[in-house]
Amino acid sequence: MLVKTTHFGEIDIKDEDIIEFDEGIVGFEDIHRYGIIKNQDSDSPFSWIQAIEKPELAFAIVDPFAIKKDYDFVLNDEYVKALEIENPSQVNVFAIVVVPEDLKKMSMNLKAPVIVNKENRKAAQVILDTDEYTVRHYIMDELQKQEV
């Protein structure tokens, strides 16, 4: 499917990369369909989700486990049901990234990850019950911790 975007020009997004947020993303509740744009470098933990119907709306996302290896949470039943998850292997987890001017202060939201059921491509930004994570984990700091 050809999608017009502000950031990436006109791009072809495969049907299998289109995900549907029934409830939208917090603050963007009216936008339901996004396409995943993978990084050309397949080793990169970063990718993008682009709103299908809103050319200017895109979010950078990251594989949180690549940045914080011990990231761990329990998904509430309500989400398991809403996304029709039967098996953990069906699930992809992403964290939304804020990219400020100073890239060293790039942060990811581990309190409200994006969960995608790879099989039916239903997605949701879920709010975790735990206090262990916040909406702002600095990516460079987390990577440094990893090296220690």
Catalog residues that contact other proteins under the rule CB under 8 A: 7-8, 25-28, 39, 41, 44, 46, 48, 57-60, 76-78, 81-82, 96-100, 103-104, 106-107, 109, 111-112, 125, 127, 135-136, 143
Phi-psi region of 78 (alpha: psi -120 to 50; beta: other; left: phi over 0): alpha
Q: Measured from the CB atom, is 91 or 112 closer to other proteins?
A: 112
> Using an 8 Å Cβ cutoff, are 64 and 71 in contact?
yes
Q: State the minimum distance, in angstroms, from the CB of residue 35 to other proteins.
A: 14
Q: Measured from the CB atom, is 39 or 89 closer to other proteins?
A: 39
CA distance 97 to 121: 21
Sequence-distant (≥ 6) Cβ neighbours of residue 114 within 8 angstroms = 25, 49, 61, 93, 94, 95, 96, 123, 124, 125, 126
Q: Measured from the CB atom, is 28 or 73 closer to other proteins?
A: 28
Q: Measured from the CB atom, is 62 or 89 closer to other proteins?
A: 62
Q: State the minimum distance, in angstroms, from the CB of residue 84 to other proteins.
A: 13
Query: b/e string for 108-127 if b means 16 or more Cβ within 10 A?
Result: bbbbbbbbbbeeebbbbbbe
Q: State the minimum distance, in angstroms, from the CB of residue 14 to other proteins.
A: 20
CA distance 64 to 3: 27
Q: Measured from the CB atom, is 15 or 30 closer to other proteins?
A: 30
Q: State the minimum distance, in angstroms, from the CB of residue 128 to other proteins.
A: 10
